[in-house]
Structure 1
Amino acid sequence: MGTVGIAAVFLLSALILITDLTSAQDYMLEEKSECHYNNGTERVRFLRRYFYNQEEFVYFDSDIGKYIAKTELGRFVADQFNSDKEWMEYEKNNVQSFCVHNYGVLHTVTADRRVKPSVKISVMASGDDLYRHKHSLICNVYGFYPVGIEVKWFRNEQEQTTQVSYSGPHPDGDWTNQLLVDLETEIQKGDKFTCEIHHRSLESPLRVEWKPETPDSAKNKMVTGIIGFVLGAIFIVVGLVLYLRSQKATSTIRVRGTEAFIPN
């Protein structure tokens, strides 16, 4: 921020203490600097906003060129800041020194960055019978960058445009984003649902399919799992028996070898 900026923050704190002594013992002062870009850096707007106990009371707008008060406290602070020529010159220069400069730095890191999305489909059943109730099919698209993305639902290759809702996209905190797309629909035997994703990181649309399991397929999976469990248990038991036998045989040989060296 520099010497001028630090001095301004101290001045602002002092002004608040002077003008609002009733809560001077316990308060929160927050400052936010914002850059708003239009078509790159052709038109840049710089805002410095101040909050007192989570309420914005004054802000600087580079488009206007001065501080604007939003509360009675802010009016007094704005008058003090606007009368400081050195500080006002500093704030106006932030369009170039802060916004344009940081745009160039961040743009070199993010402009060409592409991260392909991952996709997971899940179903939220509203009843025990999959084929008698409406359900929500959720296409969870996550881990993608940049944020621009398009997600479509298809049922038997027919795009679904109704009963579709979107949640996001929202940042995951690791420079990637996440989006949930919900399709509320009835499910019939033989249906095939497809979540289709269009994103700049993909050479062609990513399509992930989901089909409802039939009772027979679910039963077959259960039987296969039981058989696998039984076979695994048999192998473990057989291996344990062979191991114990080998250990017993080794012990017998060692005992007999020792007896052969005992003198008469």
Structure 2
Amino acid sequence: MWSYCGFNMKCFMYLLSLCLFSRSVEYEADGNGYFMYADFWCAVYSRDREQVEYLVDWYFNKEFTMQYNSTVGSWVGFTPAGLVSASVLNEDKHDRLQRKVEKELICVNNVNFMFNTTEENIAEPSVTLVETTSSSNNTMLACSAYDFYPKYIRVTWYRNGQEVTSGVTFSGVMTNGDWTYQVHYYLEYTPGWQDRVSCMVEHVSLKKPKIYDWDSSMSQSETSHLIGAVSALLLGAVLLSSGLIHYKRKSSDPRFSNTL
């Protein structure tokens, strides 16, 4: 589904809405604070207009539900609701035509402009992967990217080599008050023994996607329990050693021997 840049190629990705270079689109779905959120963006691999990809990332309540990819030519769903919506849109000839027109107007017609205005102002993200507190008994991980430019960045979660979309939320891209941005992606999951969890970061400043691994076999809670157990074991060993030393001293002292 996702096309990566070659190692020696620069891949320019731009966050675009239906109005060129404006912000992503957010729709309020109901009165309970749930939102639909869509990123309309271009993946530009070179100045060759034929290689341009147009994508639409669709979220509901901050959960990644489905994506349109012009290379595939259809929507792909990632959640039960996303699968249903993607199936309906793929049968809609008007939606297919609309996406083709959007690709031409937003991406293809602006390839040279994108390269010319962005090449000199690229900043690589600084990434951290940490465990945070969760409201349940699950593990919550946060993959955070700081101080990057341009605005578009893609963060993907993987578990044992498979992409994870369930339990994924994000903060939205936020400005730092200067020309750089930051974003935080969260994964809540039930840890399994020796699970391999990682987040993959893709950005124009990177020659290829960077992968950051999390050692799920040693979470903060497990580490605390292990430290407590080791501490108790060491304390017990110290007390036992002290008792044996005291007993041997008493046994070797004639004053105590005569009283027995």
TM-score by length of 1: 0.38
Higher relative contact order (CA 8 A, sep 6+): 2
More helix by share: 1
TM-score by length of 2: 0.39
